[in-house]
Structure 1
């Protein structure tokens, strides 16, 4: 197949590109989890209180657990589609919160949350890529 690509031989390595997206997304969510649990616990609990979500500790631990588990699954490439549905949903909610109350999430921009949601939902269709446990048989 002829393409107009500048480097058509690199297209043989598409699975590596998907792997890089998956692993980077996973590492970002593991980092989110680590920061929340170690340094931002009180701040994030107060965040859920401000949004009117009570008991805030339950919401804090639920969101933190989803971020940590989904991020870890993405790093190793296990249950990728389920993990990216979870991360994409979290980022969609974060985008809506940032849009409605920009001061509620001061650390990142709305564009950051949108790009994480788009990458997450793209991986539902692209699959896990290379170096994954749940590669198709």
Structure 2
């Protein structure tokens, strides 16, 4: 492993942590809030919780397009985690790039969902 590959891994892993924080925030403001593990957590703790979030999406009392967005957030994030883990073992640049794309898409969808949730609650007041 080269220093450059280690830096790539560290950068994508930092992005993953940042995006996970956005997912935590969005999950807490769902109509039926979902609490995900937070703080210093390992991928082994995060992954099953995010998979469960995807499975719970259809049970959230919100329009189907928002349920689908929540499921996409969870599945894109888990896919990114898998790509990053594969990069850690095989060190192919395209894997790191694909993981980064997955995390960036996850962040965009999570922020869109959070904005919709905030707007929804604001309009109910």
**Which range, TM-score by smaller chain?**
0.3 to 0.5
Q: Which protein is richer in helix relative to its size?
A: 2
Greater Cα radius of gyration, structure 1 or 2: 1
Length-normalised TM-score, structure 2:
0.42
